[in-house]
Amino acid sequence: MSIIQFIVKNSTHVVIGIIVGAISVVVMSVGKFYLERKKYPPGPLPLPFLGNFKFFLNKKRHFFLQVTDLEKEYGKIFTIYAGKMPQVVILDPKIGMEALKKHTFAGRADFSKMTQIFYDEPDNSTDVLLSDFTPEWEVLRKVTHSALKKYAVSEKAPIVVSQVCDEVIQEIERKEGSNPFDIKHYISQIILSILSSSTYGQTYHFDDKELEDYIQVLETQNKNINQFIMFMFMPFMRHILRKSFNQLKENFASVRRFSKNKFNQHVESFDRNNIRDITDSLILAKMEAEEEDKDAAKYLYPQNIMNSMNLVFGGGSEATRNTMNWAFLFMANHLEIQKKIRDEIENVIGLQEIPTLKHKAECHYTSAFIAEVLRFRPSNPMGAAHKTTVDSQVGKFVIPKDTIVTFGLYSYMHDKEIWGDPSHFRPERFLDSEGKFISHPNSFYVPFSAGRRSCPGDKFVLIVMFCLLSRFIQKTHGKTIRLENGPGSVDLMGDPKVAFTWVPCEFKIKLSTD
């Protein structure tokens, strides 16, 4: 009797066997899942395959606040699950800061490989933000950090910021006048144009279609960030939510086409005696490595360079835009703070001179205001997830190698024992007794994280924010930035529907004559 004849004759028994076998596999898988859970610190009970998905779906309370709430029941170190993946959360500031500075916590759950589902072709390149801790990652981060640092301290960045601001402010005055308007879209245009000029040497004008298209791509990604995370941790969901997945996939492709086009243009017109922007700096670093026959040269291939370009232009824009949105909201909500900023900028810089790095060192209150915005409303309250590279001690727990670890940056910067009154927006906490700016009043000020995984573009972001804010104040002399319905009319806790970034609720401002 053939196999086919046997199956046909005993079809009922075969079907029952298949069902029993499938159930056995599921039961064994679930049993293993819960057995493995004992390796990690305690936390809320996860569901098989779905984990603690309810935290990701709650649109009424911020994800990071839901996680922080768990401290009451599980302490400052606990575990939550994203799908099948355990994540240890460290809310204890001292333990967290110690871990952040250790190389044993500098790994990454190689999200760059998890994002492969969004690409049609395999991609083994390295990304400074998303890739794991490897020699290739170290080389790329060093080169990217060096390029950003050089540009941040150059004279080009302040000039670019002022030119872009001037054009957009003129458009605001022409189009909006004294009427209430949404500042967020204008900030997106300013930031992306600044980053484009800094990264690619191309300054967009207010109504450039390419800029508008890119803003649309970013806004779509931000709107669908919850689904993006879900697809990474539960890739099977892409077959269920096909439309959303395809939209995100097209967005990824659009960003890649954009950066590839810019990179190729730079390679064709590159002149090592005329470094125009950050992309030129990255290309130069690659050439110098090749000429000196460094081992690093093999890591600086085109896609890696393009990944760093995307990090500056795309990744840098989100954090900077969010922070500037908060800055304008707080200036409009705290008019006494806005007046102090205006007085300082007009006295130190004047109304015509372009704000520079030198002015930043002299504008102590304005610098303190920016620092307080970054502390009070960090763009990424939980930071980017790390990974242990070896079995690692965390408090009383031993965390297994290759475990995802999330650090509660928000908790570190809102701890009452450290900050005294963390729930109050008070720029003065960054000033000494003589009114001089203190960049780090303690070791728990980590808006850009800390250690090997800290943001490589922190200095660049800070100079952009200072110059942008100062120029806007200069160009609106004699006016006051006010909320449409006055101070206290906007919920300062922000929009809870965006899971992993902290963004303001919708608000409008108006420029009123004093």
Give residue 94's pLDDT. Answer: 96
Residue 289: in which H helix or E strand, if any? helix 278-291
Residue 386: in which H helix or E strand, if any? strand 386-387
Task: Tell which phi-psi region holds residue 397, choosing left (phi > 0), alpha (psi between -120 and 50) or beta.
Answer: beta
| pTM, 2 dp | 0.86
CB 255 within 8 A of CB 175: no
Give residue 285's pLDDT. Answer: 82
Give residue 21's pLDDT. Answer: 65
Query: Which of 294, 322, 238, 282 is closest to 143 using CA atoms?
Result: 282
Spans of the chain, pLDDT less than 70: 1-18, 20-30, 110-114, 116-118, 120-122, 204, 206-207, 211, 214-215, 218-226, 229, 232-234, 293, 315, 499
Give residue 299's pLDDT. Answer: 85
Q: What residues have CB less than 8 Å from 159, skipping those under 6 apart? A: 354
Give residue 400's pLDDT. Answer: 95
Q: Pairing mode, if any, of strands 404-407 and 85-90?
A: parallel
Ordered DSSP codes for 57-87:
H-SSS-HHHHHHHTHHHH-SEEEEEETTEEE
Give residue 25's pLDDT. Answer: 59
Both tokens of residue 283? 């290309």
Q: In whole angstroms, what is the distance from residue 12 CA to residue 368 CA?
A: 75
Give the phi and the psi of residue 505 in degrees, each rounded to 5.
Answer: -70, 170
Given CATH 1.10.630.10, say whether it is the number of domain 40-513.
yes
Residues belonging to the chain: 514
